[in-house]
Structure 1
Amino acid sequence: MPDPLLERLPETKLLRLFDALYAQGSVTAVAQLLGLSQPTISIWLAQLREQLGDPLFVRTSGGMSPTPRAEALIGLVRETLDALRQIGGAAPDFDPMRSERRFCVAMSDASHVNLLPHLLGHLRRTATACGLKAGPIDSTLAERLQSGAADLALGLIPGLGAGFYQQTLFTQDWVCLARAGHPRIRAALDLADYRREGHIEIASGTGHELLENALRRARLTREVVLELPGFLGLSAVLETSDLLVTVPRQTGETLSSRKTIHLHACPFPIAPFSVKQHWHARFHQDPGNRWLRQSCMALFGDPQAPTHPATTNPTS
């Protein structure tokens, strides 16, 4: 079967003729093999002879025999044809059990709590020789995704635009956390409780702006006793104080699984947000990147969720 790429490149027709004539030793046989007329084969052979300055193949009692020049070139001709076939062929599959690739996934420290343990566990089960690095979400993220220094970014990242793809993993609403045995909050948390108690503020992450907007809309003020740059150490502070914290649900459910921390419905509305995976168009067809995205969808989201170019910044 003719190779599609070789069919599209004009000069390769002469290389294919060279290879076939060397193997067949007959113009008639080569014409049948390539599905061409004998006059066409003769024209191509004349072009080859002119370009290379050598008869290349001459008639003998055994058929069309190669000249010393043709003998010297046949190896290079076949290597060139093989290289072109590889270029035109399908990209190699990614075999997670054989690959030693080190993936870098940019994520917030909340995702270190919620997502990273599950993703690492998946790699340890299905890609045992692969490594994983958790990178930051910062001002260099777009550049790192474009260069390949980061393979994927997980989170609420509205700043990525043209040249990127995004796919929704799940939607987050908000909850409040307090320690089990809190002296004043035993059942449902109401607005009076929320106003009265001291709070922990997590200052990092794009979701923080959603919380601040909701507080302004509800005309709520709160006493921030402790401000943290992230979620590291949050559970220990909650367990040893009477402070409250308002966090995305997945973080709340992860921390409240300790049984020493209780999860409460948020007593005022806060806009939910979508956690998405983001990648650069350069790596859209990369087999390893595609495997990583499919793994994240299987672990955290809906495999049928649509993929969007981020040029129009779609919301789902």
Structure 2
Amino acid sequence: MAGIDLHLIRTFLSIYESGSLTRAAEELSVTQPSVSYALARLRKQLADQLFIRNAEGMIPTRRATELFTTFKKAVNAIDASVEAGRTFDPAVTRQQFRLCLTDLGELAFLSPILQAFGSEAPHATLEIVPMQIDAVSQWLIQGEIDAAVASIPIEGAEHHEVLYEERYVCVLPKTYSGSPTQLSAEEFAFLRHVAIDPSAGHSQADRLLESMGIQRRIALRLHHFSVLPYVIASSDYAAIVPLRVAELFAAQWPVTLRELPFTIPSFNVSLYWNGTPPTSPAQRWFQQTVAASLKQPLGPLALFH
């Protein structure tokens, strides 16, 4: 990176991420000819076209793709070092933070996080990015999100903090009259189950059941968890969900929960983020606030209803 102006690198990153000279100019608050001139200088210095224009926009070359991660990390490290020397007051900040959550995470986590934001950073903006489990690692690397909460390891994440330990249970309609605390193997096999698409970020239970040779009677397949409590409350279907979410469902809907008839190992729910120290005060506040919010229990809920 020796001999390359930081301004040129920021221009490169903006073109790469936006796929457009016009949008890059808008993001950088400069004219489009300025962006074109910067790109011409970069092409000469790096001896590569870097971007090729087609109907879809500015498409990066292989060399540009190789350079992107290195440039992005370098610029993030520079920005973090500069920010580390500044004071940060959450009470007055208007900064936007981006957190990646599954739709289950939105149901279970948003309330405590928003309470913390409301009391500590009332003018800040929180954007929730829907989880795409295959893309979240790249989002962290590229700085498209500030952090992610997930129940499976995020490859490529540089840091993580365990928030709490979790386990799976079975959710059923309130009218279920079988075993009062734990399903038998026969009851479990007889139930009609709802299956959730693995891209939602909760596929551990299905993989374990498959490895144990246990098959469920799948009656419904959904791509999201958000409609699940309504489906179960209004039918005789069952679903496997994390305990914290099952308790939340049971507190708000006419559903009940039971322990599974076989042992599925517990798992950790963790906060993931990237960034080489020193971390900016704003990012440090954000990570600590999210972690502290989610380490708190949801409240005194009876396990079986």
TM range (shorter): 0.5 to 0.7
Map of 1:207 onto structure 2:
202
1:216 is matched with which residue: 205, 210, 213? 210
Map of 1:164 onto structure 2:
158
Map of 1:107 onto structure 2:
101
Cα pair 1:214 1:270 within 8 Å, conserved:
yes
Cα pair 2:229 2:253 within 8 Å, conserved:
no
2:184 is matched with which residue: 181, 187, 190? 190
Q: Distance in 1 between matches of 2:160 and 2:83?
A: 28
Q: How does 1:61-210 map to 2 (within 5 A)?
A: 91-138=85-132, 139-161=134-156, 164-184=158-178, 188-204=182-198, 205-208=200-203, 210=204
Kindly state the Cα deviation for residue 177 of structure 1 after the two structures are TM-superposed.
0.5
Residues 172 and 90 of structure 1: CA distance in aligned 2, closer, same or farther (over 3 Å): closer
Q: Distance in 1 between matches of 2:272 and 2:143?
A: 13
Kindly state the Cα deviation for residue 299 of structure 1 after the two structures are TM-superposed.
1.4
Q: Distance in 1 between matches of 2:110 and 2:140?
A: 19
Q: Distance in 1 between matches of 2:230 and 2:290?
A: 29
Secondary structure of residue in 2 paired with 1:115: helix
Secondary structure of residue in 1 paired with 2:128: strand
Alignment coverage as a number of residue pairs? 214
Kindly state the Cα deviation for residue 183 of structure 1 after the two structures are TM-superposed.
4.9
Cα pair 1:94 1:288 within 8 Å, conserved:
yes
Q: Distance in 1 between matches of 2:278 and 2:222?
A: 36
Cα pair 2:101 2:129 within 8 Å, conserved:
yes
Q: Distance in 2 between matches of 1:148 and 1:301?
A: 25
2:248 is matched with which residue: 228, 247, 254? 254
Q: Does 1:273 align with 2:267?
A: yes
Secondary structure of residue in 1 paired with 2:215: coil
Please give the root-mean-square deviation of Cα atoms over the aligned residues, in Å: 2.3
Map of 2:294 onto structure 1:
300
Give structure 1 regions of 4+ aligned residues with deviation exceeding 6 angstroms.
Answer: none
Residues 188 and 90 of structure 1: CA distance in aligned 2, closer, same or farther (over 3 Å): closer
Residues 90 and 199 of structure 1: CA distance in aligned 2, closer, same or farther (over 3 Å): closer
AA of the residue aligned to 2:295: G
AA of the residue aligned to 1:221: Q
Per-residue CA shift, 1:106-165, capped at 9, x if unaligned?
A: 11111011111211121112110001111133243233323432111111342423x611
Q: Distance in 2 between matches of 1:236 and 1:89?
A: 46
Q: Taking structure 1 as the reference length, what is the TM-score of the superposition?
A: 0.62
**Structure 2 stretches of 5 or more lacking a match?**
1-80, 297-305
Q: Distance in 2 between matches of 1:265 and 1:184?
A: 12
Kindly state the Cα deviation for residue 217 of structure 1 after the two structures are TM-superposed.
4.0
Q: Distance in 2 between matches of 1:290 and 1:246?
A: 35
Map of 1:245 onto structure 2:
239
Q: Distance in 2 between matches of 1:280 and 1:129?
A: 25
Cα pair 1:214 1:269 within 8 Å, conserved:
no
Greater CA drift, 171-180 or 256-265: 256-265
Q: Distance in 2 between matches of 1:109 and 1:186?
A: 29
Kindly state the Cα deviation for residue 186 of structure 1 after the two structures are TM-superposed.
5.3
Cα pair 2:103 2:225 within 8 Å, conserved:
yes
Secondary structure of residue in 1 paired with 2:271: strand
Secondary structure of residue in 2 paired with 1:168: strand
Q: Taking structure 2 as the reference length, what is the TM-score of the superposition?
A: 0.64
Q: Distance in 2 between matches of 1:112 and 1:268?
A: 28
Give identity over the alignment, percent. 22
Q: Distance in 2 between matches of 1:166 and 1:159?
A: 9
Q: Distance in 1 between matches of 2:127 and 2:292?
A: 20
Map of 2:220 onto structure 1:
226
Q: Does 1:263 align with 2:240?
A: no
Greater CA drift, 136-145 or 238-247: 136-145
Kindly state the Cα deviation for residue 88 of structure 1 after the two structures are TM-superposed.
8.7
Residues 172 and 284 of structure 1: CA distance in aligned 2, closer, same or farther (over 3 Å): farther
